[in-house]
Structure formats: C-alpha cells, structure tokens
Structure 1
Amino acid sequence: MSDEERRDSLADQAAAWIPPWERPTPPKPAVTDEPPAAPPAAAEPAILDTYRSPRTETFQDPVGESPAEPAVEPETSPRAGEPAPGADEAVDEAVGPDAPSGGLAAPHDTSGEPEGEGGAGGVPGKRGRRRAAPAPEPAPVLDDAELRGALEAILLVVDQPVSELALAQVLEQSPERIGPMLDEIAAGYTAAGHGFELRRAAGGWRLYTRPEYATYVERFVLEGQSVRLTQAALETLAVIAYKQPVTRSRISAIRGVNCDGVIRTLVSRGLVEECGTEADSGAFLYRTTTMFLEKLGLNSVDDLPPLAPFLPDDVEELADATR
C-alpha cells in the first residue's frame, strides 16, 4: 500500500470514529426465570494433576495463575430466593419435630429423665438419659417388745435428757410411737417398785433414782464430801430463775448487795449462762441452764413453785421501809 492510500485509509477511519458517549446503548437482555447457562468446563491439563491438593480439592498453579473454577450444573443450582434442594429435610432432621417454628430447637433438658441405652456406656448416637436413683428402702417397723428394749438401752447410756424426736430419728421410727411407749415404760417401773424411775426433765427423758433412796445414793456417791451452794448463791440463783432474763444490776438491786462474784460462781458451775444484752443499757442478761432444770428435776421453768405462799404477810410494809 502506498503512502497516499494509507493516508486516505486513516482519514476514512478518523471520519467514521464515534465517541463513546454518542454511541447507541445496546439492548438489555430479556430477564427470565431460567438460570444462566454455565460455560462448558474447560478440559483439565494433564500436567496439573500432579499439583492437585488432596485436602482442598483445588488446583495449585505453580506459574501463579488462578485455579480453575468447577463447572456449575444448572439442574442442581437453586434459584434466587429459593432454598437449596434437600434443605428442608436437613433442617427438620437437625432441629427436630418439637422445635418452635422459625428457629432452632431449644436445648433438651434430660435432668429429670431416666438414662436409657444412649447414656454412658450405651448405644452411640442416641440421646443420653439419666438413670433414676433407686428409692430408699423403708425402715423396718419394730414391734413393741423390740422398741421397748431399744429405748431402755439408749436411756441407760445417755448423760442428759434426750428428746422424743431424737429417739425417733435414731431408731428410724415414727415419733407418734415413741411418746406412748416412754409413758408405758415409766408406768411399768413405778408399778414394779424399782429403785429408779423414768422421768421427763428439761424437755427430754432420763432415768433417775427415786427420792426415797436418795440417802443411800448420796452416801455412795459423795462419801461425806459434798459441795453445797452458799446462801448468797442460792438467793442469786432464785432471783435469776424467777426474773430471767435479768441483768446484774437488777439482781443486785433485788438482793441489796453486789452479786458479781456469786454470778461468776454460778456460771462456772453451769447453772447460769449469758443470753444476750439489754437493748437500752447494753448490759449482759442471764438465765438458768438446762443443767439447772435437770438438777431440780423440772421440765421447764414454768414448773417452779409460785412465790406467793412464801412471801411474808407484811411485804408491803417492808417494801415501804426500804424506800
């Protein structure tokens, strides 16, 4: 081609050139519900077989090219907005028939269900269930003769009064049987004329020697060495027994003398104990103990004799004289 022909060709091309913004818009393809056809899968080069990864199943190109994408089959690809085939069955299997609608199944609570074959050591793949604990065997019911002997054996070794509830728990029997049986045992000892008796004291039961044999018991136990409370200790103990809970200052005001040393003696012998403080002054309060009831043979402080018969006739005159 000569220079003139080449020049004319370039001029024709320049005259026929149209800018991009003036070019006509190509027609848009029609929208259909059918998925676009996938391009045919390219044949795999035989040389790339050696670079196939066994774990990810992708092709590793040593030259740096991007790995080949697998072909998408139209019949297995879901449409836009539609779930994949088999998704409903997979969700139903994973969630379960009892799951609430629109969400995953709530965690199954097996705390109250017995353990079945799928538990520990059972068939794998089944839900584990806890095995229910065996119910405790009921305690054997003792007959009257055996219950009587058991109660007598326990009462012989106790060192303080024992309640009916404690005896029922030890013997594993109903508390309704213990009380009547103890009354029957006490009545039997009295009728037989034994030197001891079963008596209720300090809220419980204990064996005691009978008062008519007290001199023989004292002679055997004390052997002439008896420790007696002083007159001041007896007066202080009487004030605490009838006025409890009471403070030291109140006791001293009733007796008219200081009683700190006497109270310490009664506390050391276990006849009196502290039971809190007074709300107004913060002074310690004192009351009698269970040993006090046990030594006097009383069941409670309500069994103390009334003071009215022991008061003098001119008690009002004496009260006015001390003012």
Structure 2
Amino acid sequence: MQQTSPEDTGVTAGSEPSLRAALEAILLIVDEPVAEVTLAQVLERPSRKIAEALAGLSAEYTEAGRGFDLREVAGGWRLYTRAECAALVERFVRDGQQARLTQAALETLAVVAYRQPVSRARVAAVRGVNSDGVMRTLTARGLVEEAGTDPESQAVLYRTSSYFLERLGLRSLEELPALAPFLPDDVETLEEQQK
C-alpha cells in the first residue's frame, strides 16, 4: 500500500479536508455515479489528480477487503457494496420483499436496450404482445426513459437510463453482450417464413 501523510488522507482541526477525504465525503452522499470532471470542478482540483485519487481509493478499498467498493460505471464513480455482501445487504434492505423483474419486463428491457431509441409499438411488434403496461413499470422503476418522438409517426421513443447502466455495472451500452451468438444460424430463413 502506498504511504500517505495525515494531511493527504484526513481532516485536521481548523484546516481543509484532504482530497481523499473530500472525495469520500461526496461519494458517500451521491445517489448516482458522479463524473471525474464534476468532482474536479467542485473540489477545484485538476481532473488528473481526481482520477489518480479515485483509482487509489478504489485499490485501497479492495486491498483492505472492505465491505464496499469504489467503481467507475455509467460515466462516473460511486460507492457500492461488495458482491460477497450482497445477500446480507439484500436481506437488510428488502426485509423479505420481492422486487424482481418479471419475464415480460426482462424481455421488454432487452428490446429497449438493443433497439433504442424505440417506440412502444416497435417493442410490441418484436415481442408479439402489447407491452404498454410493462413499459410503464420500467419507466416508473427508472430503468427506461423517454428519448423524444419519432419524426414520422410522432410516437414517443424510449431508451435505457443511466440507472439501467448502473444496475448492470456497465460504463456504456457498448459493453452489452453481442446478440449474434444467441441467434439461430438460419435467422434470415426464419424471418422469410414468418412473412
């Protein structure tokens, strides 16, 4: 572990907090990932110093085996509980409540994620069933959000939210797994037969 002096890591009486202490204080209160640029502006420090400090804190938490982790997701940094503690945290937070997504919600979310921006009608066409209720549920949970309107049909378009990326632990949509390995080899033949 890197040696640091008390003024680099803590808060002393009557003085400004260190960069690491300031970052920790901010990261404890954010409810969504915060970008390095935003932290640099708020703390009036160079982005490079912010990036170094965040990487150092993340490594320190991992090395110390803390119950939390500092991760870069969805274009920013946020504290998360460690995967090893997930069952305990879930039991504490949910207290027996079930909040899983239904199969219909998972299917709809997948269509939105891979075809965005997409209208409700297009989601229904892909799934083969009306998805209006499921779309309302996904929007209410913050996983899907409006992304404007289609210029031709004036239909509302939807996309996944930054909360979706955060929940999946992704930095961007490019990290979604490719669909090609899961499709049948003769997908063109199947599409022609359906017409």
Q: TM-score range by the shorter chain?
A: 0.7 to 0.9
- The 3-state SS of whatever aligns with 2:148 is strand
Partner of 1:286: 158
2:69 aligned residue (167, 173, 197): 197
Which protein has the bigger helix share? 2
Partner of 2:84: 212
Task: Name the stretch that deviates more: 250-259 or 306-315.
Answer: 306-315
Distance 1:319 1:144 in 2: 62
Partner of 1:237: 109
After TM superposition, the score normalised by the length of structure 1 is 0.53
Partner of 1:271: 143
- The 3-state SS of whatever aligns with 1:305 is coil
The offset of 1:318, in angstroms, is 3.4
Query: What code does the residue aligned with 2:131 have?
Result: C
The offset of 1:311, in angstroms, is 2.2
* Structure 2 residue 56 is the aligned partner of structure 1 residue 184: yes
Distance 2:59 2:165 in 1: 22
For 1:70-89, list aligned pairs within 5 A: none
Change (3 A) 1:314 1:213: farther
In the alignment, structure 1 segments of 5+ residues that lack a partner are: 1-142
Distance 2:21 2:94 in 1: 31
For 1:38-49, list aligned pairs within 5 A: none
Distance 1:147 1:217 in 2: 29
* Structure 2 residue 38 is the aligned partner of structure 1 residue 161: no
2:183 aligned residue (307, 311, 323): 311
Change (3 A) 1:229 1:153: same
Distance 1:215 1:268 in 2: 25
Distance 1:315 1:223 in 2: 45
* Structure 2 residue 139 is the aligned partner of structure 1 residue 262: no
Distance 1:212 1:317 in 2: 45
Distance 2:104 2:148 in 1: 24
- The 3-state SS of whatever aligns with 1:208 is strand
Distance 1:208 1:233 in 2: 25
The offset of 1:313, in angstroms, is 4.2
The offset of 1:310, in angstroms, is 2.2
Distance 2:56 2:29 in 1: 20
| Runs of 4 or more consecutive aligned structure 1 residues displaced over 2 Å after TM superposition | 309-323
Query: What code does the residue aligned with 1:193 have?
Result: G
After TM superposition, the score normalised by the length of structure 2 is 0.86
For 1:82-231, list aligned pairs within 5 A: 144-145=8-9, 146-231=18-103
Query: What code does the residue aligned with 1:301 have?
Result: L
The offset of 1:314, in angstroms, is 4.7
Query: What code does the residue aligned with 2:191 have?
Result: A
* Cα distance per residue 1:158-217 (max 9 Å; x no partner): 111111122112211112210111111111111222121100112110001111221111
* Bigger Rg over Cα: 1
Query: What code does the residue aligned with 1:295 have?
Result: R
Change (3 A) 1:212 1:281: same
Same amino acid, percent of matched pairs? 63
Distance 2:187 2:86 in 1: 36
The offset of 1:317, in angstroms, is 4.3
Distance 1:311 1:209 in 2: 35
Q: How many corresponding residue pairs? A: 181
Distance 2:160 2:125 in 1: 19
